[in-house]
Copies of this chain bind each other. A is one copy, B any other.
Amino acid sequence: MAREFEDHCWKDVIDADTIAIYQAYRRQTYVGDNPAVLAIDLYNKAYQGGNRPVREVDREFPGSCGEHAWKALPLTQKLFAAARRARVPVIYTTRHVDTGGVQSTNRAMGRQRDDIYDIKAELAPQPGELVIYKERASGFFGTPLIAHLQQQRINSLIICGESTSGCVRASAVDAYSHGYHVVLVEECCFDRSALSHKVNLFDLHHKYADVMHIDEVIAQLSATSPAVKKAS
C-alpha cells in the first residue's frame, strides 16, 4: 500500500536536482497516534460557481476554488466517514463573516453572502464536533485549538481542506511547531492554483508533514481499532 516517498502530484514540476537535494528527508510516512482530522475552511465560498475552472468562477465568485474544490468533495466525505468509523474526531475551522478588520490574507473583499463561511452541507459537522473560528490563516493562531487538542489527548493531525498554499499550509506548519505529527491528505487538499498546490505539498512533505494518499490514510484509519487507539 505504501507508495514511493516522491510518488505525489508534484512529480511533474519538481526537477531531478531538487529531488536529489531533498533525499535526506526520505522516511516512512504514517498516521500518528491518537489522531484528529483537522478540516480547514471547507465553507461554501470555496465551492461557489460550481465544478468549473477557477478562472471562470473567479469573475463572479472571488475566492472560489471551483473544480478543485468539487473534485475533492466526495473524497473528503469518504475521509470523514472513515474517521468517524474509527472514532477519530473531526475538527473544523471556518471564520466569522465580520471580524472587524483582521483578515486572513491581504485580498480585497467586497460584500458577501451571509452563509459563505458556513461549512458546505455535504461535509457539515455532526452534533458535538468542534468548530474553531479563526481570523488568520492558521487554525492555531488566535484560537483555543491547542487547548482542545490537549484536553482530548490528540497527538497527531490529519489535515485536509483549502487552500493548500494558504490556511492548510499555515495550519500544518503550526501543528508541526507545536509538536504534532502531521499528515496531509493529498487528494483532500485543494487550491486555486495548481502550481502552488503542488509546490506547497512538496515543501510540507519534506519539512513538516507526511503527505499521504487518501487510500493510504483510510487504510491506516480502518486498521485502527478504537479500543486499542484509546488505550492511552
Scoring A residues 86 to 128 as 1 if CB is less than 8 Å from chain B, else 0, what string do you get?
0000000000000111100111100000000000000000000
Q: Do the beta carbons of B180 and A150 come within 8 Å of each other?
A: yes
Contacts A136-B147, A151-B179, A173-B137; A207 near B107 (Cβ below 8 A) = yes
Number of A residues near B (Cβ < 8 Å) is 67
Expressed in whole angstroms, the Cα–Cα distance for A105 and B141 within the complex equals 20
Q: How many Å lie between the Cα of A178 and that of B177 in the bound state?
A: 15
Which among B130, B147, B155, B192 is the interface contact of A142 at CB below 8 angstroms? B147
A interface residues with partner B (beta carbon < 8 Å): 13-15, 17-18, 20-22, 24-25, 27, 33, 53-55, 58, 62, 99-102, 105-108, 130, 134-138, 141-151, 153, 155, 165-166, 170, 173-174, 176-180, 192-193, 195-196, 199-200, 202-203, 206-208, 231-232
Beyond known contacts A18-B193, A137-B173, A142-B177: 11 more, CB 8 A cutoff: A21-B192, A99-B144, A100-B130, A134-B144, A136-B144, A146-B178, A146-B179, A148-B179, A150-B180, A170-B173, A170-B177
